[in-house]
Amino acid sequence: MAHDIQIIGGGLAGSEAAWQLARRGFKVRLSEMRGGGDTTAAHQTDGLAELVCSNSFRSDDSDKNAVGLLHHEMRRLDSIVMHAGAKARVPAGSAMAVDRDAFSAEVQRALEQHPNVTVVRERVDVLPSSGPTIVATGPLTAQSLAESIVSVTGQDRLAFFDAIAPIVHHDSIDMDVCWIQSRWNKRTEASNEDGDYINCPMTKEQYLAFHQGLLDGEKTEFREWEADTPYFDGCMPIEVMAARGVDTLRFGPMKPVGLDNPRDATPEFPQGRWPHAVVQLRQDNKLGTLWNMVGFQTKLKYGAQIELFRTIPGLEKAEFARLGGLHRNTFINSPLVLDRQLRLRGGEHVRFAGQITGCEGYVESSAVGLMAGMMAASELMGRDWTSPPRTSAFGALLSHITGDAEADTFQPMNVNFGLFPPLHEVKKKQRKEAYTGRAKADFSEWLDTLEAVPA
């Protein structure tokens, strides 16, 4: 099939861009190297939109949370990621989590069945010199293409490490020690009856021994060229957090507040009492057979992981479907090399989308892919592009990537209210609702200016 545009990379951003273009009548060649004899250090399948780290799209609260607001805006633009996420959703409290295999399969099914999309399993080594192109190769861009990007942009690559959390088989968890509860017993329509997290309690002595084990455990060795690469705070390896102080984990992924251990119930505390620390596991698939260790991204070697994580109460006999890992992420200096429509300066036929642009997170990557697809479609139709309002989640994220951030200090960023135009006149307790209320109103007005997309 002759194509109107090529998209390089079949991850979240590339899949979303392909969907938006195909729905608008454009023929898309979607090039994905996995399944064509190549893979990456983090992927395990050749499925489109494979989730390689957590299975969570984070908060789905669109009234008080910036990423939940981004969910809302994506749904209004008929996001394929949100459609597939709804079909593959698993309980996770107020968060949106999915069965990762079902999610990837649904995205791939929708794209492969669309008459305007051709998925080609091929590795692209060089940026195309002509023809509309979207590069959405993500943080694990193949070395050859990364070198081509560097040669064209004239800028050195920036990189950071991203760590992957382990996944445990449910039937290997000792539920006589652990219990199911959501923090503060918060529930949503997707929640399980008793709660959404398996909680493994620790006494002070157990926690201190575990903390020391994280510090002492054998770590993945750095290569010479990786030595000075910084971590992104949103995926900080747990042993790196542990090194910041003995109580850092107790105020982070292992915080016990809002979790009453029923095993410790007494007449004075009939609901139980708070442990010194808690390891939480979140459901990873619809069957409930796999659970991932929340916040436990790690660069410990496999043997050290198994030995240490089996000291966690309730996980003494844990069987791991996947152990933690570490991979290098690559992104471009977008404020310097991209224009406001995500086009490469000096090579405007090429757009970039997704994590390679310096956004961080599944949802943000998908959102930037969605926008890149809409921008490209507008250009192919010969229409002027009007960006979403700066007050919306889309507008705030795009503004950060394409110009608001300082190029000299540019780092990956999740969507957050710090990227939005401030509302200093609103009281702090009411500010989140004010941000989301303003965003929804302004985004609706922007949507009214767009032409309808065929069903």
| Whole-number pLDDT of residue 42 | 75
CA distances from 436 to 119, 305, 371, 431 (A): 37, 41, 20, 9
Calculate the CA 155 to chain-centre distance: 26
The CA distance from 376 to 343, in Å, is 9
Q: Return the bridge partners of 119, or none.
A: 30
| pLDDT in the model for residue 173 | 97
**Tokens 């542990």 -> residue:** 242
Question: CATH topology for 5-157+332-448?
Answer: FAD/NAD(P)-binding domain (3.50.50)
Q: Are 278 and 202 in contact (CB under 8 A)?
A: yes
* CATH match for 164-328 among 2.40.30.260, 2.70.70.10, 2.40.50.100, 2.30.290.10: 2.40.30.260
Give the pLDDT score at 1. Answer: 62
How many other CB atoms sit within 10 Å of the CB of residue 28?
Answer: 26
Closest to 380 in 3D by CA, of 135, 126, 28? 28
Write the burial class of residue 448 (CB in 10 Å: 0-12 exposed, 13-18 middle, 19+ buried): exposed
Q: What pLDDT was estimated at residue 453? A: 85
Q: 343 has which bridge partners? A: 351
How far, in Å, are 136, 153, 169, 321, 447 from residue 290 at the CA level? 29, 43, 5, 8, 39
Around 404, how many Cα atoms within 13 Å sit in the side-chain half-sphere? Answer: 15
Q: What pLDDT score does 193 carry? A: 77
Residue 39 has a pLDDT of 79
Q: Cα(371)–Cα(377) distance, rounded to whole angstroms?
A: 10
Is 437 within any annotated ligand binding site? no
Report which DSSP code applies to 223.
Answer: P
User: Which residue in this structure is represented by tokens 């455990």?
Assistant: 217
- Strand-pairing partners, residue 188, are none
Annotated ligand binding at 361? The verdict is no
What single string gives the DSSP state of each residue in 330-388? EE--HHHHB-TTSEETTEEEEEE-GGGGTB-SHHHHHHHHHHHHHHHHHHHTT----PP
How far apart CA 37 and CA 18 sit, in angstroms, is 22
CB atoms within 10 A of CB 392: 27
**pLDDT of 225:** 53
369 annotated as a binding-site residue: no
Q: How many Å from the N-terminal Cα to the C-terminal Cα in the chain?
A: 22
| Full strand arrangement of the beta sheet holding 5-8 | 117-121, 28-32, 5-8, 133-135, 347-352, 343-344
Residues (pLDDT < 70) of the chain are 1, 157-158, 189-190, 222-229, 455
* 21 known ligand binder: no
Calculate the alpha carbon distances from 87 to 106, 107, 141, 190, 337 in Å.
8, 10, 29, 12, 37
Query: For the chain, which residues make up each domain, given as ranges?
Result: 5-157+332-448, 164-328
Q: What's the longest Cα–Cα distance across the chain?
A: 75
Handedness of CA 427, 433, 436, 438 (dihedral sign): negative
The answer to whether 11 is annotated as binding is yes
Supply the pLDDT for residue 406: 77
